[in-house]
Structure formats: C-alpha cells, structure tokens
Amino acid sequence: MNKGILVVISAPSGCGKDTIVNEIVKEMGDEASVSVSMTTREMRTGEEEGVNYYYVSVDQFKKNIENGEMLEYTRYGSNYYGTPVGPVKEKLREGKTVFLIIEVEGGENVKKIFPDCVKIFVIPPSMEVLSNRLRGRGTDNEEAIATRLEIARTELQRAVEYDYIVENDVLQDAVEDVKAIIKAEKLRINIMQTKLREVIKDA
Ligand code: 5GP
C-alpha cells in the first residue's frame, strides 16, 4: 500500500479551518483522520475529551514531551498545545490522509520532521469579513475580537511559508479546493513509487 499524506492546516481564528476539515473527513470516511491534539487549556462548553482535545495538566504535558511522545508542540497564549506522535505515524502507515489543524509555529516544526507534508493556509476573503464572522459567532466581546484580529494579522504574514493558500469565502468551494490539493498530492512521485515499481516489474 502507498503511504499516507500528512496535511497541515493553519488559519487565523474564525476562518473556518475546522469546518473545512470536518466536511472533507465526512466525505473521505475511513481514508482520512484528524489528529486530536493535547492541550493544557480549559475545556470549553460543548467540547469533549478525546474529541476536540486531550486535556492534560502542564506537568503531564511536559512529561509527554520528555518521553518523546509529541510530534510538535507550542505555547499559544498561556497554554501548551501539541500533536501526539503515535496516532499520526500509525495512520500514515495505514495509508490514510492525516490532518493536523495547528498554528503556524507547529506547522513549521512539522515540516522539519515530515518534509513531505503538505501545508495549507486558509485565509478569509478580507479582514472585514473575518471581523464580521468573529462578531457573528457571539462568543467574544469587542476587546477579545480586536485581540483575535491582531493575532490574525500576524499569522497572515506567515502564510507565505505554506505550500497552498485556500480562500474560504463559500465553504463548499474551499472544501473542493482542499480536496483538489489532496488529490494532486496523492499523485506525487514519492507517494506513487510503490505503484510505479509494480508496473516496471512487469514491463
Ligand atoms: P483553540 O484554543 O482555539 O482551540 O486553539 C488555539 C490555536 O492552537 C489554534 O490556532 C489551533 O489550531 C492551535 N492548535 C491546536 N492544537 C494544536 C497542536 O497540537 N499544535 C499546535 N502547534 N497548535 C495547535
């Protein structure tokens, strides 16, 4: 079997990266998987252990780093976030497409360890649309929205480090764009080597 593809997705808060990935995983079924990160932040209302994150103490998080259990990790705000390495490697071995929905620092570190990963940055159509979306969610006050927009500006500066940019204006278009990227990535020579060898063997 050909090996799987590791897809890093980053975007400022409010750009719909989770929605895009969830739609794709729904369509791809068993072929795809989203990595569940570990975090030291508090669980938010509506979130579930093992679904949105694995929620751990700072001590536990640091122990996991020491034990080499994290593929990457970062401090974002006052909390730690990281990707447990075991499940990612296992799913890639099974030939699956594995999504990491992580911030830019983590994206940079993953590329060092998995140079073949594909990095996609999701952008909003404009800063105005982004600020309207953040207001529309109704979860933040004006001050928190201003902070998120400031962080978004900084994160957007680093979008140039990514392999692809997907604009999320109409959700279904963004989903189709990411699917097209995955389709093309699956045809890359490093992924198709096994198949090529099979064909050459019988030539
Ligand atoms: P939130 O607290 O809103 O769930 O996430 C805050 C930020 O941390 C988001 O940009 C999210 O993508 C990022 N993040 C979530 N999990 C990870 C992870 O495992 N590693 C890294 N580097 N960032 C993560």
Structure token digits, residue 164: 């692809």
| Mean pLDDT calculated for residue range 20-40 | 97
Q: What is the pLDDT of residue 202?
A: 87
- For ligand 1, is residue 76 a contact (CB within 6 Å)? yes
| pTM to 2 decimal places | 0.94
Closest C-alpha to ligand 1, atom 21: 102
Confidence of residue 163 (pLDDT cuts 50, 70, 90): very high
Q: What is the pLDDT of residue 7?
A: 98
pLDDT at 73 over 70: yes
pLDDT at 2 over 90: no
Contacts with 193 (C-beta within 8 Å, 6 or more apart), sequence order:
2
Confidence of residue 96 (pLDDT cuts 50, 70, 90): very high
- Report the residue among 18, 21, 37, 113 best suited for mutation to probe ligand 1: largest number of ligand atoms under 8 A from its CB: 37
- For ligand 1, is residue 12 a contact (CB within 6 Å)? no
Fold of 5-35+95-202: Rossmann fold (3.40.50)
Q: What is the pLDDT of residue 139?
A: 81
Q: Given phi > 0 = left and psi -120 to 50 = alpha, else beta, which region is 42?
A: beta
Amino acid at 99: F
| Mean pLDDT calculated for residue range 189-196 | 88
Closest C-alpha to ligand 1, atom 15: 102
Ligand 1 centroid to Cα of residue 50, in Å, is: 15
- For ligand 1, is residue 106 a contact (CB within 6 Å)? yes
- H-type alpha helices, the chain: 17-28, 58-66, 85-93, 104-113, 127-137, 142-157, 171-185, 189-201
Ligand 1 centroid to Cα of residue 13, in Å, is: 10
Task: Compute the chain's Rg from CA coordinates.
Answer: 18
Ligand 1 centroid to Cα of residue 37, in Å, is: 8
The pLDDT tens digits for 98-147 are 999 999 999 999 999 999 999 999 999 999 999 999 999 888 899 999 99
Of 70-74, 136-140, 148-152, which gets the smallest average pLDDT?
136-140
- Report the residue among 103, 117, 122 best suited for mutation to probe ligand 1: largest number of ligand atoms under 8 A from its CB: 103
Torsion sign over Cα 29, 34, 36, 42: negative
Burial class (CB in 10 A: 0-12, 13-18, 19+), 123: buried
pLDDT at 184 over 90: yes
Q: What is the pLDDT of residue 31?
A: 96
| Mean pLDDT calculated for residue range 59-79 | 96
Query: Quick one: how far is CA 102 from the chain centroid?
Result: 5
Contact 83, 102 (CB under 8 A): yes
Q: Count how many residues are written for the chain.
A: 203
| Mean pLDDT calculated for residue range 168-189 | 96
Confidence of residue 59 (pLDDT cuts 50, 70, 90): very high
- For ligand 1, is residue 102 a contact (CB within 6 Å)? yes
Contacts with 76 (C-beta within 8 Å, 6 or more apart), sequence order:
103, 105
Distance CA 143, CA 124 (A): 20
- For ligand 1, is residue 41 a contact (CB within 6 Å)? yes
Q: What is the pLDDT of residue 21?
A: 98
Task: Return the higher-pLDDT residue of 6 and 195.
Answer: 6
Q: What is the pLDDT of residue 1?
A: 52
Average pLDDT for the chain? 95
